[in-house]
Chain A
Amino acid sequence: MALELKDLLLEKGDFSLTADLSLEAGSLTSVLGPSGAGKSTLFDGLAGFLEPNRGSIGFDGLDLAGLEPGQRPIAVLFQDNNLFPHLTAGQNIGLALSHKRRLSKADAASVDAVLERVDLGGLAGRSLSELSGGQLSRVSLARMLLLDRPIWLLDEPFSALGPSLKRDMLALVKEMAGEVEATVLMITHDPSDALALSDSAILVADNKVDGPFNTTALLADPPEALRRYL
């Protein structure tokens, strides 16, 4: 089983991006590339916010292209606005399970358990304004875990955090993804983040997606486009 992009063409205004690659299920991959090269466009295409002009996104025998974002087996952590500020931490997480007015007993228990899992036990009733930046990231991750989707896209979700918090969050992502064998793609600008996440990376540059490469090798001898950027 793998995530396979075949002959994929994404277009946004004048900008276009092609991708042809295969990522093993359960793998962790960093997405590297200069600013404006199309890393977020790639995510938009995968997550369903941008219809591909050509090609397919295959996963588990399914072509994802054409499915609504909410129907895809993909969970996304955006750069910001991942959580609804008018809801409590628990309500935000609960939306992963049910959109009913009240959660069932079993669902509420799952929310409490996943909060426990990210070291925020007992904080379900907190409003977001009472939580720190690191805690908010944990709430987002907890919801991602509970969404129970096999592919995780992380678009620089921890860039607002300090270095040590960021390291903790990356470790948590790796740990949790390992538990559920999620296939993870993470956009990052920071080579050390890429190295910390995994030894696999893809490169978005010159209107195409390349890879996967070995992260260490890629960073040791970057292609021209990436070198200029780094």
Chain B
Amino acid sequence: MAPRAVAITSAGLVTALVAIPLVAVFDRAGGIATLNAADWAALRFTVWQALLSALLSCVFAIPVARALHRQRFWGRETLITILGAPFILPVIVAILGLLAVFGREGMLSQALMFIGLPRIHIYGLHGILLAHVFFNLPLAIRLILQGWQDVPAERFRLVAQLGLGPAAMFRVVEWPVLKKTVPGAFLVVFVVCLSSFAVALTLGGGPKATTVELAIYQAFRFDFDIGKAATLAVLQLGFVGIAAAVLMRLVGAPKTDVGLGREQVFLRRMTPMRKLLDLLVIVVVASFLLLPILSIVAAGVFELPSLPSSVFQSAKHSLIVALASTALCLLFALPLATFKLGQTISLFGFALSPLVLGTGLFLLIQPYANPFELALVVTCVTNALMALPFAVRAIGPAFAQINADYGRTADMLNLTGWARWRWLYLPRLRRPIGFSAGLVAALSMGDLGVIVLFADPDRATLPLQMYRLMSAYQMEAASGAALLLLMLSLGLFWIFDQGGRRGFRT
């Protein structure tokens, strides 16, 4: 098959994989009238928590981004790199880490009790917000920091030359940066939080803290009411779809590759007070992000040798699912990244939530086979589709650049079809392919989404097994599993990303 045929086939396949389950969901869904008060409450809560999460993330991100921009200190680059890590951090691991710091038995509660104050209650809205800020604050910081780094150095020189005071400085430099970056960051976080499932599953629940995604799951697993799940899925699809469309229109697809940027002269003299405040902000944020992870490492390291075999069994499942969905995602991403319509098709994953897709796949499989037996296959396909936009975003621009640089030479040599892929595209795409593969593998490894719908005791993935251990209050084993999961996720990312960098000749 020629590359063009493969591209068209991939586009058709991805569209079908998304559209057919959606048709099944629509077919099964009841009308709006079948939604009850609890469902509407879930919808309101979903939007409300997403708004608050976005607001808090942006409010905290502004001073941090500013401090990171104007201060130079040891470990700054590392810290900015680490800000990219929550993206590939398994949600369930981060939640266990947050519980270790902010939970009832956590460090902070202990400290509060020590000075005679009550413990913190983490479950409910504030727990969800805490987790969402943990995941999205770094993203918001990076987006706003990028805005800072895009300010031309001349403007800072001008400000210094004119001797502008803080108020004028704000008007001339800061306000334009914020105006350009904050709305986009807000929207990205908002959309991400609308589809939050794993966080709501672990920290939310109950009538007061249930998201629509969680309601789909509950309709599925507890009420066995698939029609209701389908109706909720349509609701979820509707408002996430609208929000995602608004996001694309306003800011384009979210970036995952915010670099360190180039070095800038920052000429304003810092008062010691300002410098101290900036460093304080940085220390607080770094602690907020690092303490939960460090506590996982500290608690898990002694549990690793005594982990139950069920954990290793599920880790094996997760590894297989992660590698298979990485392969599948790249098989789709490479051809789709080469043309505009393909790039658009790849974005379906943004508008779609795993549980909506999962509900649809369940409905499709049910008449023919036992969906629970196909849990791992469904998870693999869903993860591939969910990660597809990120892979295409990484590969697409690189592909266009290769053609801009070497397309004519290749044309002149009559280098077409697969030969062009072998001699030109694949070797030059090594880095973005490695990066994407690392991203997909880590995301899939840590995924706690559709597997929860389909799971049975024999077919757990590692994140699910970890969630079960937590639910059974086996916290020691859960910590060990968390560390294992953390190492596997980051390890997979590292191996693939390095694989792309190594042996790449510029």
Which A residues contact B (CB, under 8 angstroms)? 47-49, 68-71, 74-76, 78, 81-87, 95-96, 99, 101, 127-129, 147
Alpha-carbon separation in the docked complex, A81 to B506 (Å): 12
Alpha-carbon separation in the docked complex, A74 to B414 (Å): 11
Q: B416: CB under 8 A from chain A? A: yes
Among the listed A49, A75, A95, which residue makes an inter-chain contact with B415, where contact means beta carbons less than 8 Å apart? A95
- Report chain B residues within 8 Å CB of A48: 411
Residue from the set B409, B412, B504 with the largest chain A CB neighbour count within 10 Å: B412
A185 to chain B, nearest CB (A): 15
Q: B428: CB under 8 A from chain A? A: yes
Alpha-carbon separation in the docked complex, A68 to B206 (Å): 66
Q: Mostly helix, strand, loop or mixed at chain B's interface?
A: helix
Instruction: Knowing A68-B411, A129-B505, say if A84 contacts B406 (CB, 8 Å).
Output: yes
- Report chain A residues within 8 Å CB of B416: 70
Among the listed A82, A84, A96, which residue makes an inter-chain contact with B424, where contact means beta carbons less than 8 Å apart? A84
Assuming A69-B414, A84-B409, A84-B428, what are 6 further A-B pairs, CB within 8 angstroms? A48-B411, A69-B408, A70-B413, A70-B416, A86-B427, A95-B423
Q: Is the CB of B412 within 8 A of A85?
A: no
Q: Is the CB of A70 within 8 A of B415?
A: yes
Alpha-carbon separation in the docked complex, A57 to B408 (Å): 20
Q: B13: CB under 8 A from chain A? A: no
Q: Is the CB of B412 within 8 A of A70?
A: yes
Q: Mostly helix, strand, loop or mixed at chain A's interface?
A: loop
Scan B441-480; emit 1 where CB is below 8 A from any A CB, else 0: 0000000000000000000000000000000000000000
In B480-506, which residues have CB < 8 Å from any A CB? 504-506
Q: Is the CB of B412 within 8 A of A99?
A: no
21 contacts between A and B (CB under 8 A): A47-B412, A49-B408, A69-B414, A70-B415, A70-B416, A75-B412, A76-B409, A78-B409, A81-B405, A81-B408, A82-B409, A84-B406, A84-B424, A84-B427, A84-B428, A86-B428, A86-B505, A95-B415, A99-B423, A129-B505, A147-B413
Alpha-carbon separation in the docked complex, A85 to B416 (Å): 18
B193 to chain A, nearest CB (A): 41
Q: Is the CB of A69 within 8 A of B405?
A: no
Residue on A with the closest CB to B413?
A: A95
Q: B422: CB under 8 A from chain A? A: yes
Q: Is the CB of A85 within 8 A of B506?
A: yes
Q: Is the CB of A76 within 8 A of B408?
A: yes
Q: B113: CB under 8 A from chain A? A: no
For this complex, into which size category does the number of interface residues on chain B fall? 10 to 19
Q: Is the CB of A96 within 8 A of B428?
A: no
Instruction: Knowing A70-B413, A95-B413, A127-B505, say if A78 contacts B428 (CB, 8 Å).
Output: no
Q: B111: CB under 8 A from chain A? A: no
A213 to chain B, nearest CB (A): 28
Q: B419: CB under 8 A from chain A? A: yes
Q: Is the CB of B412 within 8 A of A86?
A: no
- Report chain A residues within 8 Å CB of B428: 84, 86
Closest 7 CB pairs of A and B: A70-B414, A99-B419, A69-B411, A86-B427, A86-B505, A81-B405, A76-B412
Alpha-carbon separation in the docked complex, A36 to B180 (Å): 37
Q: Is the CB of A99 within 8 A of B408?
A: no
Among the listed B409, B413, B422, B424, which residue makes an inter-chain contact with A101, where contact means beta carbons less than 8 Å apart? B422
- Report chain B residues within 8 Å CB of A75: 412
B420 to chain A, nearest CB (A): 8
Instruction: Knowing A78-B409, A127-B505, A129-B505, say if A71 contacts B423 (CB, 8 Å).
Output: no
Q: Is the CB of B414 within 8 A of A71?
A: yes
Alpha-carbon separation in the docked complex, A39 to B111 (Å): 76
In B382-429, which residues have CB < 8 Å from any A CB? 405-406, 408-409, 411-416, 419, 422-424, 427-428
A47 to chain B, nearest CB (A): 7
Q: Is the CB of B415 within 8 A of A85?
A: no
Alpha-carbon separation in the docked complex, A74 to B411 (Å): 11
Q: Is the CB of B409 within 8 A of A81?
A: yes
Alpha-carbon separation in the docked complex, A84 to B419 (Å): 14
In B343-393, which residues have CB < 8 Å from any A CB? none
B504 to chain A, nearest CB (A): 7
Alpha-carbon separation in the docked complex, A49 to B412 (Å): 9
Among the listed A68, A74, A84, A129, which residue makes an inter-chain contact with B423, where contact means beta carbons less than 8 Å apart? A84
Alpha-carbon separation in the docked complex, A81 to B413 (Å): 13
Residue on B with the closest CB to A49?
A: B408
Among the listed A47, A76, A85, which residue makes an inter-chain contact with B505, where contact means beta carbons less than 8 Å apart? A85
Q: Is the CB of A69 within 8 A of B504?
A: no
Q: Is the CB of B505 within 8 A of A68?
A: no
Residue on B with the closest CB to A96?
A: B413
Q: Is the CB of A81 within 8 A of B423?
A: no
B410 to chain A, nearest CB (A): 8
A45 to chain B, nearest CB (A): 13
- Report chain B residues within 8 Å CB of A127: 505
Residue from the set B405, B411, B427 with the largest chain A CB neighbour count within 10 Å: B411
